[in-house]
Amino acid sequence: MAKPTVAPHGSWTSPFSADMAAAGSVRLEAPTIIGDRIYWLEARPEEDGRVVLVLNENGVTRDVTPEQFSVRTSVHEYGGGSYLITDETIYFSNWSDQRLYRQDLDGEPVPITPAAPVPGSWRYADGTAFHGGIVCVRERHEAGAVINELVLVDGTSDPVILVGGHDFFSSPRTSPDGTFLIWLTWDQPNMPWDGCELWSAEYSGRGELGPRRRIAGNPNESIVQPEWGPDGSLYWFSDRSGYWNLYKDNRPIAPMDADCAGPAWRFGSSYFGPLSNGRVLLTVTREGFDRLVVVDSDGDQSALSTPAGTHRGNLATDGDHTAVMISGSVSTRGAVLKIDVTTGTAETLRSAGSFDSAYVSQAQPITFASDDGPTHAFFYAPHNPDFQGPKDDLPPLVVFSHGGPTSASRPDLDPEIQFFTSRGLAVVDVNYGGSTGYGRRYRQRLRETWGIVDARDCIGAAKYLASRKLVDGHRMAIRGGSAGGFTALTALTFHDVFQVGASYYGVADLEAMASDTHKFESRYLDYLIGPYPEMAGLYHQRSPIHFADRLSCPVILFQGMDDRVVPPSQALALVQALKDHGIPYAYVPFMGEQHGFRQAKNIASALTQELSFYGQALDFVPKDVPLLLRQNVTTLDPKRRGPRSHS
């Protein structure tokens, strides 16, 4: 074996190209088992983000969705729950017009909902079979208002409203005998992970439901994935104990101090499934890793022998002994796995991409002290068998701040992280206070403290690694997308720790977000900051856009021009503020992108420019990445740097 070449960190050549990282961003999700057929969705960057329904039958995998269609809904903007299969009939929401379509397995899709007055303004998601049709969530954008409701669609007439009157609905599910319908509902300012309610009603025919009955839930209890068991039992997750645990007919069946479900950012997430003999297969999250556990009818638990990884709410069972899940691990990006629960053996049906494991830096869970208690992260050391850094030379660090912020970093292989680590940079992916997977109390650390706790924890992770001589404390970057972009901008603006940063469609102006965002998150900031406009002064105080003069390091901004969650106006306003104060910056807009980039060429372009930007700010030269944006990076006056604090 050849001796590694000694070269400065950041200058190593790597097989993880930006194009490879973009191609590795194929997203697999939403598995379904129908008899011997297994379905799932693939979001493909190389097809401009088109989402395709894929079928595996008798060992053969093929696309079901015709080329001119994309299986994706924009309800809540984040979507999910975009298809339903009953026997050999497929129902799906089509991205371009947001109408519902019916498709026979080998036939052409046919629309079953009317065209909206404004294309795309009537949207559908999260369906369940119901009396010859389907019941699903409909979101109507009309005359400046957004109305959410549950509707019955049979394809022969206009949808019939079954339930309305609340701000949001999800998870309609039909009882095995077709008699009852259950659903979740919640009202602003709550998000579904703050509190929601589970309701039930009997179907009386003629498109009407009988009296409604609240089964569980309240504004301070979060319920996730209500499902009927084959015997008519009713299951759901509740966090009333402090953790999302599984309940059956309102009794805990596997109580534990661990989260077994996650936040409902998207429709249709599944964290458990029924098996034969009253058993269920359950996802259990500990220290950021997911494990599969079988719970029998007496509540006894037994872990499957499958490796710990991340399943991300993508689990399906056949009601007997077979499960399918989308699983990632420290060495794999993601794969569709078919599992025999009896033996624990797993068969890979589809992989999101293969990578040379010799170049993969594996996630190392770390816990460090913060002002609020132990805080969690995953550390990725620089790793490339062809190179090593000079003696006594510590690597630059890139801090990843995840979005949400009610979400979590997971330890499965991320091509973007490997893009950096294989070039000699270290990465730490921080699960700051407010992240999920560690219980409700940890999640509530961020209540009214967004922009403080998250930034402080990201800084704490960086300082912890620097104190242990694992990274160069004078060459540190922070980056994030969406809410993670806000955290990055906050850390750069109100603290003096990082030397450069990157924001992907990040929030810069909290007041603008409070008044100009989509309905689903329009009151989210009540929890994270406080009610608006009553707390307008606090919104101003925590918004980086108003304090651009406190920045003294370069910032690169990436923005999708079709973003409705964090509109381009935020990035453009920050650009103007940076210009006005003479702060080195780069602004990179992408036409045709929304909240989260989906097109391979744009993902690769952004990653390349980000690395080049870091190199110029942190004094390293990437050897296999074009030097870009030099005209926007100027030498900083060290006199401008000084201690800053944020209270």
Per-residue model confidence as pLDDT tens digits over 611-621? 999 999 999 99
**Which DSSP helix (H) or strand (E) runs through 569?**
helix 568-580
CB 142 within 8 A of CB 197: no
446 is written with which tokens? 């961020």
Q: Which amino acid is at 275?
A: L
**What are the phi and psi torsion angles at 149 (to 5°)?**
-160, 165
**Which DSSP helix (H) or strand (E) runs through 415?**
helix 415-421
Q: Residue 403 and residue 504: Cα distance in Å, rounded?
A: 10
Length of the chain: 647
The pLDDT of residue 546 is 92
Give the mean model confidence (pLDDT) for residues 336-354: 89
Residue in the block written with tokens 């329904």:
53
CB < 8 Å & 24+ apart, contacts of 466-470: 466/397, 469/394, 470/379, 470/381, 470/394, 470/426
Q: Which amino acid is at 577?
A: A
**What are the phi and psi torsion angles at 171 (to 5°)?**
55, 45
CA distances from 484 to 135, 505, 596 (A): 35, 9, 12
The pLDDT of residue 45 is 83
CB 122 within 8 A of CB 116: yes
The pLDDT of residue 1 is 62
620 is written with which tokens? 């390293």
Give the contacts of 537 (CB within 8 A, at least 6 positions apart): none
**Which DSSP helix (H) or strand (E) runs through 489?**
helix 483-494
Q: Is the omega angle on the peptide bond into residue 405 within 30 degrees of 0, that is, cis?
A: yes
CB 203 within 8 A of CB 181: yes
Q: Kindly give the pairing relationship between strand 168-174 and strand 180-186.
A: antiparallel
CA distances from 638 to 499, 553, 642 (A): 11, 10, 9
CB 408 within 8 A of CB 360: no
Q: Residue 485 and residue 281: Cα distance in Å, rounded?
A: 36
CA proximity to 46, closest of 27, 29, 62, 64: 27
Per-residue model confidence as pLDDT tens digits over 503-515? 999 999 999 889 8
Give the number of C-alpha atoms closer than 13 A to the C-alpha of residue 319, restricted to the C-beta side: 10
437 is written with which tokens? 């997977």
| Count of beta carbons in the 10 Å neighbourhood of residue 632 | 16
Give the mean model confidence (pLDDT) for residues 193-211: 93
Give the mean model confidence (pLDDT) for residues 84-100: 95
Tell whether the torsion through CA atoms of 205, 207, 212 and 215 is positive or negative.
positive
The pLDDT of residue 233 is 95
Q: Who has greater pLDDT, 88 or 270? A: 270
pLDDT at 491 over 70: yes
**Which DSSP helix (H) or strand (E) runs through 208?**
strand 208-218
DSSP single-letter state for residue 593: -
89 is written with which tokens? 């009939």
Residue in the block written with tokens 């390349």:
608
pLDDT at 635 over 50: no
CA distances from 520 to 75, 351, 524, 527, 646 (A): 9, 32, 8, 13, 29
The pLDDT of residue 638 is 35
The pLDDT of residue 625 is 73
Q: Is 399 exposed, middle or buried (0-12, 13-18, 19+ CB in 10 A)?
A: buried
CA distances from 221 to 160, 238, 240, 360 (A): 30, 7, 6, 40
Q: Residue 295 and residue 292: Cα distance in Å, rounded?
A: 10
The pLDDT of residue 644 is 36
Q: Residue 568 and residue 361: Cα distance in Å, rounded?
A: 34
Q: Who has greater pLDDT, 300 or 88? A: 300
Would you list the domain boundaries of the chain?
362-634
How would DSSP label each residue in 215-276? Answer: EEEETTB-EEEEEE-TTS-EEEEE-TTSS-EEEETTEESS--SSB-S---SSBT-B-EEE-S
Residue in the block written with tokens 């259990």:
284
Residue in the block written with tokens 């995840």:
402
Q: How confident is the model at residue 495 (pLDDT cuts 50, 70, 90)?
A: very high
Lowest mean pLDDT among 300-314, 535-549, 589-603: 300-314
Q: How confident is the model at residue 628 (pLDDT cuts 50, 70, 90)?
A: low
Q: Name the average pLDDT for the chain.
A: 92
Highest mean pLDDT among 206-215, 405-414, 485-494: 485-494
Q: Residue 616 and residue 477: Cα distance in Å, rounded?
A: 12
The pLDDT of residue 632 is 43
Q: Residue 40 and residue 338: Cα distance in Å, rounded?
A: 12
Domain 362-634 fold is: Rossmann fold (3.40.50)
The pLDDT of residue 589 is 94
Q: What percent of the chain shows pLDDT beyond 90?
A: 76
CA proximity to 77, closest of 127, 146, 142: 146
| Count of beta carbons in the 10 Å neighbourhood of residue 257 | 10
Give the contacts of 186 (CB within 8 A, at least 6 positions apart): 166, 167, 168, 192, 194, 195, 196, 197, 219
**Which DSSP helix (H) or strand (E) runs through 84?**
strand 83-86
Give the contacts of 398 (CB within 8 A, at least 6 positions apart): 420, 425, 426, 427, 428, 476, 477, 478, 479, 614
Residue in the block written with tokens 């030379």:
393
pLDDT at 355 over 80: no
Give the mean model confidence (pLDDT) for residues 512-541: 94
Rg of the chain in Å (alpha carbons): 24
Q: Who has greater pLDDT, 297 or 80? A: 80
Q: Residue 597 and residue 26: Cα distance in Å, rounded?
A: 12
Per-residue model confidence as pLDDT tens digits over 118-174? 999 999 999 999 988 999 999 999 988 999 999 999 988 899 999 999 999 999 999
CA proximity to 450, closest of 352, 552, 532, 353: 532
pLDDT at 46 over 80: yes
Q: Residue 333 and residue 45: Cα distance in Å, rounded?
A: 15
Q: How confident is the model at residue 42 (pLDDT cuts 50, 70, 90)?
A: very high
Q: How confident is the model at residue 627 (pLDDT cuts 50, 70, 90)?
A: low
